[in-house]
Structure 1
Amino acid sequence: MPAFIHSLIQANLLFELRTCYGKELRLLSELSLDTAPVGTTPDLAIYPLFAPDYDNRPARQSQPPLGCIEIQSQSQSLEEMVAKVKIYFQFGVRSCWVVQPAVQGIFVFEDPKRYSFFHADDTLRDTVLGLELPLAPVFA
């Protein structure tokens, strides 16, 4: 179960992204993805805006999102987070964010070996997805 800080950051990210990009993107929390070998569930998934289909509800989403966001918990290592990033890119995700609560920063991966790091009062820039997001409200 996510701890308070994890939950707070997840809610803040969802709110800020939806406020800035809600007319362009579908932002989903805790969506099960059909990644190999056993599936994954990112904290947030970023899709192009689409109308929900309430009649077709698969247990796992087979269509890769544009981006995935993972928030590192205290029990996870950076190596574990990078392993998840690799799985997401193999699935077809174009951008991956790894949030580091302890340092109030976010790694933005454009591929498994190339990333930018944004901290506290920076404006995060995801050049792959064309997103910009001030980080101060995310960590408030």
Structure 2
Amino acid sequence: MSPSYHHGYVCSKLIAALSSVPDITVFTELTLQIEDKDYVPDICLYPKREINLTGKDILRMTEMPLAVIEILSPTQAAQELLDKFDRYFQAGIRSCWLVTPFAQTVSVYQSSSQAAVFHNEKIHDPALQIELEWRAIFL
């Protein structure tokens, strides 16, 4: 998978919007180790925490985030990401977002079979009690 121009833009807009949420810390390209396999979501959301950049770094997170966000790239199939969501939910992640830049939608999954799709309206994640303005991401 090669992230595209639109992928990079939407990712940066999401990070900026999520950075204003007071109870979370936003990470990008963080390696999650789930049953000895590595997964690297575009964005991970953890409970708010202090970061000590002079301390020992962590190469693979075994502590699962509250949520992951995957941005669909032109070279990816949506089913590939949905299959990852199954693994994420099994690992205890509470929420998975699928962002589709060309359709300008955010699908917020609470389970592999339950999602709300947001387009041109406020995005709401009930599991995390997060709300974001759609236009902060796509405009």
Give the alignment's TM-score, normalised by structure 2: 0.93
**Which 5+ residue runs of structure 1 have no aligned equivalent?**
none
Amino acid aligned to 2:18: L
Query: Aligned residues: percent identity?
Result: 29
Q: Following superposition of structure 1 onto structure 2, how do residues 1-140 of structure 1 map, counting pairs within 5 Å?
A: 1-19=2-20, 21=21, 23-54=22-53, 55-119=55-119, 121-140=120-139
Query: Structure 1 stretch 96-105 or stretch 51-60: which is displaced more?
Result: 51-60
Distance in 2 between residues matched to 1:53 and 1:84, nearest whole Å: 30
C-alpha distance after superposition, 1:11-55 (max 9, x if no partner): 000001112x1x311000111101235210111000001112442
Kindly indicate whether the alpha-carbon contact (under 8 Å) linking 1:36 and 1:87 is maintained by their aligned counterparts in 2.
Answer: no
1:95, distance to aligned residue in structure 2 (A): 0.3
TM-score with structure 1 setting the length: 0.93
User: What secondary structure, in the 3-state scheme, does the structure 2 residue paired with 1:6 have?
Assistant: helix
The gaps in structure 2 that reach 5 residues or longer are: none
Count of residue correspondences: 137
